[in-house]
Amino acid sequence: MLCPKWQREMSPGILGGRGYNFFLPQGESVPKLLSDRILKKKNATLLPPDEYGSWDVSGWPAAFWCADCKMIVADYSHLMK
Amino acid present at 66: C
Q: Which residues of 30-49 are buried (b: 16+ CB within 10 A; e: fewer)?
A: eeeeeeeeebeebebeebbb
Q: What is the pTM of this model?
A: 0.70
Strand partners, 75: 62
- Alpha-carbon gap, residue 49 to 55, rounded angstroms: 9
Write the CA distances from 11 to 15, 22, 77, integer angstroms: 12, 22, 19
Query: From first to last of its 81 residues, what are the pLDDT tens digits of the chain?
Result: 999 999 999 999 988 776 788 889 999 999 999 888 999 999 998 887 766 666 666 677 889 999 999 999 998 888 776
